[in-house]
Chain A
Amino acid sequence: MKQTRRSFLRRSAAAASGLAAVVAALSPLRELAEGEVPDIEEFLQKHYKEMSPEEMERALERIATKVERDFGVRPQIEDVRAQDGVEFVYALNLSRCIGCRRCVHACVEENNQSRAPEVQYIRVLEMPRGTIDLERGNHHYDHPTVPDKDHYYLPVQCHQCANPPCTKVCPVEATWTESDGITVIDYDWCIGCRYCEAACPYWARRFNFTKPKLPKEDLNPRMSYLSNRPRPQGVVEKCTFCLHRTRNGELPACLEVCPVGARKFGNVLDPASEVRQILAEKRVFVLKEEANTLPRFFYYFDEHYPRGGGAGKSAPPVGGETGPGGGG
């Protein structure tokens, strides 16, 4: 074909615009700081379930090196696996919860969430008494002291569903449910499409829109691959029942910090466990049962004795960073 002036210009224009598109597509790479560009081994890292123990060892070493570089601390990072014969269940006593938000902030500290912008796994909804209409819940309540007498408090976090909508929509299988019932995310496999976030009926998943900001001194150096290791920008994260603690026999951070004992956690396959007693003896319900998600997070309440004798009724309000002094 003879090259005319017209066809030459046309082809040149097409090539130039194509090149410009490639440059535009790659431009985010220019914003990556030194050391943030993934090396070839990281780039070729396999899916969590396909990694051999040696490959996992190398991945953990790589993460530890990165954390040490960014935070100046050598983390104790492990890949802690699910125990056999264990299925975790959470139970929360709505008659006891006073909405103090200790759990929210303990969770942030434990799980190395971004401080700015804030990423929080637990939302405490202040609900008008007599309704369970979540549309009427308010998580921005800011009374000088809680509980407020006209409200009850409904903390919501990942329900670790047995029929989870979030894992089904993931196009790359970066999120799945483990044998002990915990739904996890491989942050290195997540492409940040946020389908899971949209699918979750409980608003339990959070997306890192920016690079998470975590002060060096606030890093929790005890971490695991599937839970609280620092996350990159552009991935989804969520509550993992603190699996780096609970798979080692400990209790989640939100439970340890709860001042009123509203939170209960345990192995539902153990007939002597506290959660099993609650499921057997108490009035229990799950949130949005009609969504057929089969949550492993249960709410219950005390029906046969009054609410703590009227929490906060007689004791003087106590506040501030020092906290209550004992009411007497």
Chain B
Amino acid sequence: MKEIVVISGKGGTGKTSIVSAFASFAENKVLCDADVDAADLHLIMNPTIRERHDFQSGYTAIIHRDKCTECGLCRDLCRWHAISEDFVVDPIECEGCGVCYYFCPEKAIDFPLNTCGEWYISDTRFGPMAHARLGIAEENSGKLVSLIRQQGKVLAEQNNLNLLLTDGPPGIGCPVIASLGGAAAVLIVSEPTVSGRHDMERVAELAAFFRIPSMVCVNKFDLNPEQGEAIEAFARDKNVRVMGRVPFDPVFTRAMVQGQTIAEFDSGSEGCQAVRKIWENLAEDIGI
């Protein structure tokens, strides 16, 4: 079983649209939406949820005012300034470190486990899918990313499927780092803008840091061919394999509005042809 993780650095470059198109082209695969912060793949995959589980992770302190003597030790020790002058914990600021809970001389602080999201095992018209929803303003997105990828692998093994196709998060921080480990390769979807290029360079550096082979494709290439070529030149210089170019094509938005992959919506479109070519290059490259 091999896993391809699609990332971008910059948000909104077309990761989910391209993963959806790949879902149309690839055989024997499991889909995984690892952008748990703002998951969108389900809007195209329209999954039928088979299993629903709570995601529990991290703790939050709660002070019981009836036991509290207002000695102030917790406020002195808390580095997050999460405890107010009248000894109420702000759950948004609380880091879940448990220092206040550990040291409270009156044992007036509880430290319950948080339920901070849900994860799902689903069926889609393209095969099984693992996905999740992190609660709004919650932490531990990296742990949920790891969990959902693990579930994707289990699904692949159970169903004897040889590919895990993972829609990754934007950025280079905790959820992205959690989406990289053990992947056969990452595909970086970039765009030919100064920001797309800047962000692609940083995320390519991240993949190299964790020694994950990376590939790149440039979406909306014709918006600025000069920037697009600069991205490809950077890639070649850093041993990032260049997989192809996708033209700017409004058909991507139209397919999304219909809840369809671009291959379902208009398989003859320029955009679809380009993504198909990228898929073929990628499949050949990783040997699936």
Q: Do A and B come from one complex?
A: no
